[in-house]
């Protein structure tokens, strides 16, 4: 018998690549067949490099069997187009009013351009995505006029075509995912007459994740997570704790609506929610396929490390 052959050394680069793939295995096993909803916006949407990385992440996750749904916001393009069209912004009680014309501009930009730019970017990497607006599929994303009242007088204030999501008829999302297609959702819903309403993209992502019973909802933000009493971002926080932090003023300012959305998602049956730092390239891959998180994980109860 010949002497037992021994292992041949691998160069460093190959070793690293292989190690990364092997490290990813348990995570891929963890997420395959699960649904993950991503709220896409902020820096991740504005920077071409970050945006490209997000698209690579989405296609890779989809390819290894994750059901990804991408909900995007409108970004600065809407205001810009409005300005060029000479639409003079109107304010009530310090809040911008979305008149019919502004709504049409928002729809044009979000549904006509942004959703399609995303679909094309995913297509360029071999994925298949499809832009969805609330009017599609018999009005799958339903909302009502946002019931805003004047803080002082308590009188109802007409903010125009601004809506609050009321219902996600998720069959079209399930059908598309089953057909191997990544839904790309614009923040445009419809009222009972199927007329368009501008809705908040965070709220859309939360409602969609709830309706699909998503295992994870990820907000790509421009911060490095939720900050605790020490003022530094925490890697994970329980629902109960976060509730307390909001009540006691630990969570403040712009983080409040985000934190509230996290809690709502958990209530709606979403497994866990991540407030991720979208300024980190490939934040989605890092969050889902490596042992390195990027931001704060909000969950029902303190739990063992993942996956």
Q: How far is the CB of 82 from a second copy (least distance, A)?
A: 11
Q: How far is the CB of 95 from a second copy (least distance, A)?
A: 17
Residue linked to tokens 């995570």: 27
Q: How far is the CB of 98 from a second copy (least distance, A)?
A: 15
Rounded CA-CA distance 222/200 in Å is 17
Query: Interior CA angle at 108 toward 106 and 114, to 5°?
Result: 90
Q: How far is the CB of 149 from a second copy (least distance, A)?
A: 27
Quick one: 290 or 306, whose CB is closer to a second copy? 290
Q: How far is the CB of 92 from a second copy (least distance, A)?
A: 21
Question: CB neighbours (10 Å) of residue 185?
Answer: 30
**Which residues lie below 8 Å from residue 241, measured CB to CB, with a gap of 6+?**
none
Quick one: 235 or 302, whose CB is closer to a second copy? 235
Rounded CA-CA distance 214/138 in Å is 23
Burial 132-170 (b: 16+ CB within 10 A, else e): bbbbbbebbbbbeebeeeeeeeeeeeebbbbbbbeebeb
């Amino acid at each position: 018998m010949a002497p037992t052959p021994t292992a041949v050394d691998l160069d460093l680069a190959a070793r690293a690549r292989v190690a990364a793939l092997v490290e990813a295995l348990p995570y891929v096993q963890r997420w395959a067949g699960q649904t993950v909803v991503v709220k896409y916006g902020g820096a991740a949407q504005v920077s071409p490099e970050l945006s490209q990385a997000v698209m690579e992440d989405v296609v890779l996750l989809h390819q290894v069997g994750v059901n990804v749904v991408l909900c995007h916001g409108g970004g600065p393009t809407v205001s810009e187009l409005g300005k060029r069209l000479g639409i003079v912004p109107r304010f009530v009680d310090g809040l911008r009013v979305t008149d019919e014309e502004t709504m049409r501009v928002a729809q044009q930009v979000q549904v006509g351009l942004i959703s399609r730019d995303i679909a094309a970017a995913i297509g360029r990497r071999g994925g298949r995505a499809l832009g969805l607006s609330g009017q599609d599929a018999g009005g799958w994303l339903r909302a009502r006029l946002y019931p805003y009242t004047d803080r002082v007088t308590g009188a109802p204030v007409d903010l125009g075509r601004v809506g609050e999501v009321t219902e996600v008829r998720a069959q079209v999302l399930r059908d598309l995912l089953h057909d191997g297609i990544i839904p790309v959702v614009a923040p445009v819903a419809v009222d009972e007459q199927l007329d368009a309403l501008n809705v908040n993209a965070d709220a859309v992502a939360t409602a969609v994740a709830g309706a699909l019973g998503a295992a994870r909802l990820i907000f790509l933000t421009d911060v490095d997570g939720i900050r605790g009493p020490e003022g530094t971002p925490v890697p994970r926080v329980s629902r109960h704790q976060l509730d307390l932090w909001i009540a006691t003023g630990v969570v403040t300012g712009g983080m409040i609506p985000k934190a509230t959305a996290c809690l709502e998602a958990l209530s709606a049956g979403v497994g866990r929610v991540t407030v991720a730092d979208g300024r980190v390239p490939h934040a989605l891959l890092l969050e889902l396929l490596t042992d390195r998180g990027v931001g704060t994980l909000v969950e029902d109860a303190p739990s063992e490390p993942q996956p």
